[in-house]
Amino acid sequence: MSRRAVTDALSRLAFAAELLDDPRASAWSGAAWAVRSLEADVAELLASGELEEVRGIGPAAVEVVAAVLAQQEPEVLTQLEARLPAGLFAIRKIRGLGPKKIKRLYEDLGVSTLGELEYACRENRLVGLPGFGEKTQAKVLAELDRLRADAGALRRDQARAILDPIVRALALVDGVEEVAVVGAFGRGEEVVRELEILVQADEPSAAREQLDRARPTGREIGLHVASAATFGARRVWLTSSDGHRAALASRAAERGLHLDEGGLRRAPGGEPVACGDEDALYRELGLVPTVAERRLDGVPLVGEGRAAPRLVRRQDLIGALHNHTVASDGSATL
């Protein structure tokens, strides 16, 4: 995560410098690439003094790295960004628009926000700009649609970075017996829009207070609280798609039971059927347990006595699949 934070700061510096015709633009860009290509840990290199010896990383870049690793905003970045509209940094997210094109949009059309960019496209004003054209304008509109669709979405690694410290904090609360991440993340999905956590506790107030202290500012995280008897059933419910929930609820009804977000019961609002873990719910319904990653629409329930489908295991892989390394957005070297 520190490497990404450093490369992001250096890349923002390079972008701002290029828009401002600052001669340091290429140096910042080179430093960003150098940090991205490092095989050793950037914090260790900084501490040992070896970072200054890396080609492409000069004294100014070292200062930026030190500030970022100390969780501070580099002063030079603050100064450069203050001279530009904040919306231009959002326009950077549009694929296919580099600093030169964004600078032309800003200087020639006065575009400084995503909203102004879309308005200019709708008015067909990008077509006449040097270096643009009808195809580029169409791609920009498609990218704007993509950004709207992706708003608030997190990659799995980004969601994990938020959730892991919160799970650890909640596990320390007196009275909290178990903590589980549920929702799309608990189902193993790669892109997560909502973050949800389930805790087993008799009294929810202390857990809610801890969550408020631990969660990042502005980030909403749903907290569900279950008793020991309902924890397993609620965990299944909260990690399942709507289709899987409906299939389980139908199966429960066939057996004279009722399943909803509150757990498994003898009747709606009636006495709960104890399901301390996820497998217990499936056993009560006469089913082979379905792992969280398969709790999706269209995945059939498997009755007891039949072989349970299994997920792909590491030993099943016999070759290299698509890999990312620290040279791009991965977390390990090649």
pLDDT tens digits for the chain (334 residues)? 578 889 999 999 999 999 999 999 999 999 999 998 888 889 898 999 899 899 999 999 999 999 999 889 899 999 999 999 989 999 998 988 999 999 999 999 999 999 999 999 999 999 989 989 999 999 999 999 888 877 778 899 989 999 999 999 999 999 999 999 999 999 999 999 899 999 999 888 999 999 999 888 878 899 999 999 999 999 999 999 999 999 999 999 999 999 999 999 998 878 889 999 999 999 999 999 999 999 999 999 999 988 877 888 888 888 877 888 877 777 777 7
Closest CA to 13 of 66, 82, 59: 82
Q: Which fold has domain 85-151?
A: DNA polymerase; domain 1 (1.10.150)
User: How many Cα atoms sit within 13 Å of 222 on the Cβ side?
Assistant: 13
Identify the burial level of 268 via C-beta atoms within 10 angstroms of its C-beta, where 0-12 means exposed, 13-18 middle and 19 or more buried: exposed
Task: Report the alpha-carbon distance of residue 52 to residue 45 in Å, rounded.
Answer: 8
Given this model, what pLDDT does residue 152 score?
Answer: 78
Given this model, what pLDDT does residue 226 score?
Answer: 94
- The answer to whether 238 touches 231, Cβ cutoff 8 Å, is no
- Which residue type sits at 51? L
Assessment of whether the complete model's pTM goes beyond 0.75: no
DSSP-derived 3-state class of residue 159: helix
Pseudo-torsion of CA 314, 42, 82, 96, nearest 10°?
Answer: -40
278's CB contacts (< 8 A; 6+ apart) are 232, 235, 236, 289, 292
Pairing outcome for strands 154-155 and 191-192: antiparallel
Pairing outcome for strands 195-200 and 178-182: antiparallel
- Name the CA radius of gyration of the chain, rounded: 26
Asked if the domains 1-84 and 155-294 are classified in one and the same CATH topology, the answer is no
Q: State in words which class domain 155-294 has.
A: alpha beta
Given this model, what pLDDT does residue 151 score?
Answer: 77
Task: Report the alpha-carbon distance of residue 213 to residue 123 in Å, rounded.
Answer: 47
Q: How far is CA 97 from the centre of its chain?
A: 23
Sequential DSSP letters for 227-268: -TTTHHHHHHHHHS-HHHHHHHHHHHHHTT-EEETTEEESST
Given this model, what pLDDT does residue 332 score?
Answer: 78
Given this model, what pLDDT does residue 122 score?
Answer: 93
Tell me which CATH code domain 1-84 carries: 1.10.150.110
- Which residue type sits at 209? E
Given this model, what pLDDT does residue 227 score?
Answer: 93
Given this model, what pLDDT does residue 33 score?
Answer: 92
The size of the chain, in residues, is 334
Q: How far is CA 240 from the centre of its chain?
A: 19
Domain range summary for the chain, segments of one domain joined by +? 1-84, 85-151, 155-294
